[in-house]
Amino acid sequence: MSHEIPPRLSVLRLGHRRDRDKRITSHLGLTARAFGADEVILAGERDPSALETWDSVAGHFGGEFLSRFEESPLSWLRKVSKSGEVTIVHLTMYGRPWRESIPSIPTDKPALVVVGGTKVPAEVYHLADYNISIGNQPHSEVAALAIFLDSLIGPIDEESKFSGAKMKVIPSAKGKVVVNDDEE
């Protein structure tokens, strides 16, 4: 069900709470990177540890992946929406079914995937070009992002997407095989 990859794909983690969401937000950014996003934007409580984790993984496992903090996410989303230059996709269990929606998402301009943490302001539903649900039952936002990105992008060519890696995991039926360029 994959189609052409948008020229730039960003994920906005909205409403991060440092103490409560630390691990899930970290996993959300790692999933964004692994499934083909170019950038993750953190909004909510400032949390340098999330940004450091994402930057560290990109440094060790390769690829060009950006992370940053957005101080005023709603104001920024309003500007992005008004520009019309970016397709805003909001992942929510209240949205339209993903299988029906993905084919209509344009691929000729950048995409911004919004993933909420705390209660998402109603305005986000109106700013989004697409409100998409992976399912209408409570579930993990990390799982929703993985399914959405895999369905939107399809398989990732790890050799080209994650070039410059210092560490590389070699698939193995049993055990762990990691090649570390620092050791070679």
- Residue 46's pLDDT band, with cuts at 50, 70 and 90, is very high
Length of the chain: 184
Mean pLDDT lowest among 40-49, 99-108, 162-171: 162-171
Average confidence score pLDDT of the chain: 90
Where do we find the tokens 């496992």?
61
Q: Is the pLDDT of residue 49 over 90?
A: yes
Domains, the chain: 9-180 (3.40.1280.10)
| Residues whose CB falls within 8 Å of the CB of residue 158, separated by 6 or more in sequence, listed in order | none
Among the residues of the chain, which ranges form H helices? 18-34, 48-61, 73-83, 98-101, 122-127, 141-153, 158-161
Measure the CA dihedral 28/108/65/84, to 10°: -70
| Residues whose CB falls within 8 Å of the CB of residue 134, separated by 6 or more in sequence, listed in order | 91, 93, 98, 143, 144, 147, 148
